[in-house]
Amino acid sequence: MSLPSTISIETLTPEAVAKTIDHALLKPDMTIAEVLEGCRLCAKYQTASVCVKPCDVKYAAAELEGTGVDVGTVIGFPHGNSPTNVKVCEALTAIDDGAVELDMVINIGHLKSGQLDEVRNEIRELTAAAKAKLPSCCVKVIFECSLLTDEEKITACKLSEEARADYVKTSTGFSTGGATIADLKLMRANTNPNTTHVKASGGIRTLDFLIECLQAGADRIGASATTAIVDEMRARKAAASTSQ
């Protein structure tokens, strides 16, 4: 479902809002029963995807088969410190288990160390391996913007784009900060909108902030407050309809 050219409460629908959301089920203590409950919520609201821990991909894929909701997972999460071959292995295993979207954490320390060729090559190698196995696989690169300077964020955008990743993403939601409007605008300004999408993630708990993120250039939203966000959209639409 494509978004309207002008993003606002008036132009959006509850269905369109839901289709921007990657529903996050990533808490370390989350049980399989809670994961399955979250998957059923995704099917009910028809989110874009569910994003689960790698160990839960097979459960999510089985639960969501035929629902139209994609299954995603995280790679090198949450710190990005695994060697490249481990990240690639994790990605290919996730695809075998049923994932079609992969959110990989950039090697933050090596980016900050100026090891740019290494960082670019890691993203490129993982993206190429994933798409060789599953051509439709969507690869998103998580920056952890709260730990980076603006110059480093811009560099990460360029490296991700050169490596042919599908998305650049603000945050894991497990560090010192989440999505900010300033970061989203910076990421959108430093990537080609025809080839590279932007995902906002971390601290997005309200409809108003979700809409701000979309207005700032985000194409996809990582959130766990899906019920509250979509239900608020439905309530506002209903109120607007009765007032006319």
Q: How confident is residue 244, by pLDDT bands cut at 50, 70 and 90?
A: low
Identify whether 28 is part of a domain: yes
Would you say residue 122 lies in a domain? yes
What predicted TM-score, i.e. pTM, was given to this entire model? 0.96
Asked if residue 236 is part of any domain, the answer here is yes
Closest listed residue to residue 230, CA positions, set 21, 50, 36, 6: 21
Look up 185 and say whether it is catalytic: no
| CATH number of the domain encompassing residue 127 | 3.20.20.70
Model pLDDT, residue 74: 98
Within a domain: 4: no
Map residue 143 onto helix, strand or coil: coil
Alpha helices in 46-115 (DSSP H): 57-64, 84-97, 108-112
For residue 221, the enclosing domain spans 14-243
- Within 8 A by CB and 6+ apart from 27, the residues are none
The predicted-structure confidence for 72-122, as pLDDT tens digits, reads as follows 999 999 999 999 999 999 999 999 999 999 999 999 999 999 999 999 999
Residue 9 lies in a domain: no
Please give the pLDDT value at position 3.
85
Task: Give CA–CA dist 195/2, Å, rounded.
Answer: 15
Largest Cα separation within the chain, whole Å, is 59
Catalytic residue among 44, 131, 169, 237: 169
User: What whole-number distance in Å separates Cα of residue 162 and Cα of residue 105?
Assistant: 16
Whether residue 199 lies in the annotated active site: yes
Q: What is the pLDDT of residues 161-220, one digit of tens each?
A: 999 999 999 999 999 999 999 999 999 999 999 999 999 999 999 999 999 999 999 999
C-alpha R_g of the chain: 17
Task: Establish if 7 belongs to a structural domain.
Answer: no
Total domains in the chain come to 1
- In single-letter form, the type of residue at position 105 comes to V
Listed in sequence order, the DSSP H helices in 98-206 are 108-112, 116-133, 150-162, 181-189
Residue of 126, 15, 1 whose CA lies nearest to 73: 126
Residue 219 lies in a domain: yes
Answer yes or no: is 227 within a domain.
yes
Which residue, chain included where needed, has tokens 């108003």? 208
The string of pLDDT tens digits covering residues 20-73 is 999 999 999 999 999 999 999 999 999 999 999 999 999 999 999 999 999 999
**What's the pLDDT at 241?**
80
Which of 19, 87, 153, 199 is labelled catalytic?
199
